[in-house]
Amino acid sequence: MRISITGASGHIGNNLCRKLIERGYQVKALVHNFDKSLVGLNIEKVFGNVLDKKAVYTVIDGADYVFHTAAIISIGIGSKEKLFQTNIEGTRNIIEACLQHKIKRLVHFSSIHALKNSLPDKLLDESTPLAGAEAFDYSQSKAGAEVLLLDACKRGLNTVILNPSSVIGPFDFVPSLAGQMIIKIAAGKLPFLINGGYHWVDVRDVVSAAINAMQMGRSGERYLLTSQWMSLSEIAAIICKEVNRKAPAVVPDFLAWTGLPFIQLFSKLTGEKALYTKESLDIISHSPKMVNHQKAVKELGFKPRPVEETFVDSLHWLNDNGYLNNLKP
């Protein structure tokens, strides 16, 4: 069976490639930035990006199934125009190519950010409305892509939409925003923590559910892929216990917001991406604690593991691969 993947170099993408190859599938990947995440993998590479229609049609030609993981993930840093072009117009190109080549199913990776942000004490599930104009740019871009997909279903596209929370786990080569957080906490380079937390999920569990979605799940439906909510202080305690380091202090919210301009200035001066931005502070402070993933459990065979186990596995993988300067947790 032939599988095509966009965003193969990314965290989800390269984990997906590995698991598909392990299961005996032929994999063809659209590769934007070829890096060490794909070294040694037996895949056919098509170089380009989702805005390159010729490359998109080439990678999808001959495929039985398509996984669309390519996207820009933003916490308020970078070009809004590029964000919308990649996440919305890029998805449009994927849809049109899938319709033309009559693929069996498109498995699209969205995000829980595509949904309207509920209050911390309100339940978030698949019935939650899509994010609107009041949402951050990233949320609007992912919601816009879902609108295109649902419209394409009416034109005959067989597609399943997956909405993971913040993904963590091994083979995080870039590393991701969550991976950068783990590195900075373990290395003692995150100056403080704020109150709040987020819903996390293991990339290996996301990939397993995604592969199941080739045959399972209903077309035109979205499925939330989350494990559990955990606060930043709980995460720091797990990581710092592994590396025998004192956890960063938790500061009051007003101090975090007051210090935000200085964090952004430091980021510009050092060239390091800031983990604390207006968007990330708001997300961490107001993320819903109750997210229901039972639909994915019942219909996609989703089996999320405890996130404490995932954070430990992530830390060890990052250390074993030289991202932590051999802290030897």
Mean pLDDT in each 10-residue stretch from start to end of the chain (329 residues)?
Answer: 95 97 96 83 94 96 97 76 95 98 97 83 90 90 97 97 96 90 89 85 98 97 96 93 89 54 46 61 75 97 97 96 69
Could you tell me which of 118, 117, 114, 107 has the C-alpha nearest to residue 146?
114
Could you tell me which of 293, 311, 313 has the C-alpha nearest to residue 303?
293
Report yes or no: 319 and 328 within 8 Å, Cβ to Cβ: yes
- The rounded Cα 235 to chain-centroid distance in angstroms is 18
Give domain 2-174+199-227+289-305's CATH architecture: 3-Layer(aba) Sandwich (3.40)
At residue 75, the pLDDT reads 65
**Spans of all domains in the chain:** 2-174+199-227+289-305
Alpha-carbon span 88 to 96, nearest angstrom: 13
- The answer to pTM > 0.85 is yes
Two tokens at 23? 């299961």
Phi, psi of 194 (to 5 degrees): -115, 160
Give the Å distances, CA to CA, from 297 to 127, 222, 281, 293: 16, 13, 30, 7
Q: Return the SS3 of 89.
A: helix
Query: What type of residue sits at position 268?
Result: K
Two tokens at 130? 């899509």
Could you tell me which of 224, 88, 106 has the C-alpha nearest to residue 155?
106
